[in-house]
């Protein structure tokens, strides 16, 4: 099981590292990391972009090589959450906050923060952590809810913006509207299952499978067909979905392990009686 956890952590870390490389290439934050041209008071945006990108690549490398990986993932989750609270939410509130569709990047950033916390939770605890890291570790249980909130709202978007979302279904697949509704319902169901802990293990496994199917069927072909427009935005979508899929499978493994532990403890109690 741990080998699979390493694989899912690799998918998450390599995806964020790829986003950082994109930032270095194009000299600006990806919208999922920081809103465009926001905050306006931030001087030397290019310098901050490079600094953050280099640190992000270093952090992702530490997660892959498991060098203080739990602490690094925890701090990464805290930093991304800070970006959501300090930058993404104020940015969206200053425009059209009542339109659910404009919250896409803020929700993705929240889910990436949750993914970092889920990565942290999948790793063994470390000794001699700083006081700051110990405080941030209190946020680790929230990771799954951050992911779930994004899934529920993205699922709702499928019903609110059906005609737009349907355009993402490949032309060779018939019934675009049907698949738009079906995918939306699946996202909502998965998110609710995670939040309420109803068949969470099954929900996260199916969610991970669905996301990686989307990666292969939808996002990779779009990125290959249009690799450069919007500062390679289609490749950004590839990396985002890869990160979310890895996160879903990590959460599945954690939930499945917890379920097995509960069953084992119950069996031991029955045997003792």
The verdict on residue 273 lying in a domain is no
For residue 271, being part of any structural domain is answered with no
Residue 24 lies in a domain: yes
Mean pLDDT of 65-79: 96
Number of domains making up the chain: 1
Query: At residue 128, does pLDDT exceed 90?
Result: no
Instruction: For residue 191, give its domain range.
Output: 2-264
Among the ranges given (30-44, 70-84, 183-197), the one the predictor scored with the smallest mean pLDDT:
30-44
On whether residue 253 sits in a domain, the answer given is yes
Is the pLDDT at 269 greater than 60? The verdict is no
**This prediction's pTM:** 0.92
Domain assignment present for residue 131? The answer is: yes
Mean pLDDT of the chain: 91
Higher pLDDT, 161 or 42: 161
Say what angle helices 104-121 and 229-272 make with each other, to 10 degrees. Answer: 40
pLDDT at 255: 77
135-190 tens-digit pLDDT:
999 999 999 999 999 999 999 999 999 999 999 999 999 999 999 999 999 999 99
Give the mean pLDDT of 32-56: 90
Digit-coded pLDDT (tens) for 214-235: 999 999 999 999 999 989 999 9
Top-confidence residue, 130 or 68: 68
In a domain? residue 220? yes
- As given in the structure block, the two tokens for residue 140 are 């680790």
């Amino acid at each position: 099981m741990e080998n699979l956890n390493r694989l899912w952590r690799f998918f998450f870390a390599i995806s964020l590292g790829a986003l950082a490389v994109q930032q270095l290439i194009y000299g600006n934050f990806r919208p999922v990391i920081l809103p465009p041209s926001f905050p306006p008071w931030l001087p030397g945006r290019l310098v901050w972009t490079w600094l953050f990108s280099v640190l992000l690549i270093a952090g992702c490398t530490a997660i892959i090589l498991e060098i203080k990986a739990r602490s690094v993932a925890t701090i990464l989750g805290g930093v991304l959450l800070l970006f959501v609270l300090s930058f993404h939410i104020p940015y969206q509130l200053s425009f059209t906050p009542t339109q659910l569709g404009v919250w896409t990047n803020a929700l993705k950033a929240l889910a990436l923060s949750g993914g970092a916390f889920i990565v942290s939770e999948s790793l063994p605890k470390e000794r001699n952590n700083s006081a700051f890291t110990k405080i941030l570790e209190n946020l680790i249980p929230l990771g799954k809810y951050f992911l779930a909130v994004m899934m529920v709202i993205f699922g709702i978007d499928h019903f609110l913006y059906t005609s737009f979302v349907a355009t993402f279904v490949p032309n060779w697949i018939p019934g675009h509207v049907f698949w738009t509704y079906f995918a939306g319902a699946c996202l909502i169901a998965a998110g609710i299952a995670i939040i309420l802990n109803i068949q969470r293990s099954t929900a996260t496994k199916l969610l991970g499978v669905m996301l990686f199917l989307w990666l292969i069927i939808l996002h990779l072909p779009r990125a290959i067909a249009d690799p450069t427009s919007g500062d390679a935005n289609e490749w950004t979508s590839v990396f985002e979905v890869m990160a979310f899929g890895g996160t879903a499978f990590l959460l599945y493994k954690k939930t499945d392990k917890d379920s097995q532990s509960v069953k084992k403890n119950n069996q031991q109690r029955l045997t003792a009686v």
